[in-house]
Amino acid sequence: MIQRNFELKIELLMLILATLLLVSCVAKTNPEKKVEYIHNEGKAQGTYYSATYLHPDGKDLQAQLDSFFNAFDLSLSTYNPKSLISRINRNDTATTDHYFETIFEASQIVSEATGGAFDITVAPLVNAWGFGFGKRDRSQEPDLSKFMPLIGFNKVKLINHKIIKENEAIMIDVSAIAQGYSADLIAEIFEKNGCEHYMIDIGGEIVCKGSNPKGKNWQIGIDKPVDDSLNVSGELQTIISITNRGLTTSGNYRQFYLKDGKKYAHTINPKTGRPVNHNLLSATVVAANCTTADAYATAFMVLGKDSAMALCKRTPDMDCYLIFTDKSGKYQVVYTDGFKKYLTE
């Protein structure tokens, strides 16, 4: 009996050793693969996007991103004649979808908060001044009396999934908020896929969370507002360190044209109907989401330095960094107290 027990113990020991040897061999032939950050990039919404993210299983999500952008553009791209917003502008349909309704309601909230400095009905003016999605006729200044009656965020309403216009000639352009909104939606895709570390940049509208590949906060450059319509300067004003926020910079140093020695900026003041003309060159806004940051950055460029700073300070969970010129033409900066934590210099 003792001999049999001894033999069983030996057999059990041999089995354990064999199992350990097998596990060791498997570990050597199939070492655990380290998950690396993935980088995707491409074209979307008339600009370029890039996304850097850490997927828990190392899965590449570019196909999902491109599929999303195609669906998003079919809803909100004014450059696509088949899109929902283009059809609404042509009065081919009034029925809306989820993307349109979400961005419309967000736009109305920002318009109210900014006293109309942000206004998605500014589209006819943007086109008339030679920007936007219309024919770019810059030969002469437009007759504002034809367009101002069409401007006003309170002249369009969303009722029971339909857009109601006071005048059929009213057109809607959400380009000053759509890229920020799409960046937030890409972040949702990453979240659903278990990604906890990512940075999305869609034409300068940024959402970031977690850490970059070096294990630190994401490092984002703010361009120096040098007149650069070809976007070749690349000179930075500063670099900020940021995570878990949405970030947008708006300025008039890229989209503009010169005529008879005068600069015409792409940002149009809905109140005056004219391109803005003041000393605020660039507005960087940090907010809880990129949709909000995108819209307010545009509004700040309309309002000018002092009004923008006052509005930012009284808006919860928002900070800004403004670049402007002083009386001697030199660059100066001003920012909210809360923005200091992002500065690296």
CA 95, CA 98: separation in Å to the nearest integer? Answer: 11
pLDDT of residue 2: 47
pLDDT of residue 251: 85
Handedness of CA 57, 62, 64, 68 (dihedral sign): positive
Backbone region of residue 6 per phi and psi (left: phi > 0; alpha: psi in -120 to 50; beta: other values): alpha
CB < 8 Å & 24+ apart, contacts of 10-16 = none
CA 188, CA 178: separation in Å to the nearest integer? Answer: 15
pLDDT beneath 50: ranges in the chain = 1-2, 6, 8, 21-31, 229-230, 256-257, 260
What 3-state DSSP class applies to 18? helix
pLDDT of residue 329: 83
Backbone region of residue 161 per phi and psi (left: phi > 0; alpha: psi in -120 to 50; beta: other values): left
pLDDT of residue 27: 42
The whole-angstrom distance between residue 28's C-alpha and the CA centroid of its chain comes to: 45
How is domain 39-342 classified at the CATH fold level?
T-fold (3.10.520)
In this structure, what token pair is assigned to residue 292? 């909000």
Q: What is the pLDDT of residues 189-229, one digit of tens each?
A: 999 999 999 999 998 999 999 999 999 999 999 988 876 54
Residue 323's contacts (CB-CB under 8 Å, 6 or more residues apart) are 222, 224, 225, 237, 251, 280, 281, 282, 283, 331, 332, 333
Which residue is it, tokens 């939606």? 185
> Is the Cβ–Cβ distance between 63 and 47 less than 8 Å?
no
Q: How is the chain split into domains, by residue range?
A: 39-342
pLDDT of residue 15: 55
pLDDT of residue 53: 98
Q: What is the DSSP letter of 268?
A: B
R_g of the chain computed on alpha carbons:
26
pLDDT of residue 7: 53
Residue 55's contacts (CB-CB under 8 Å, 6 or more residues apart) are 35, 38, 61, 193, 194, 195
> Is the Cβ–Cβ distance between 78 and 86 less than 8 Å?
yes
**Whole-angstrom distance between the N-terminal and C-terminal Cα of the chain?**
80
Count the residues in the chain. 345
Name the pTM for this structure: 0.85
Helices vs strands, H then E, count in the chain: 9, 14
Q: Which amino acid belongs to residue 215?
A: G
pLDDT of residue 31: 45
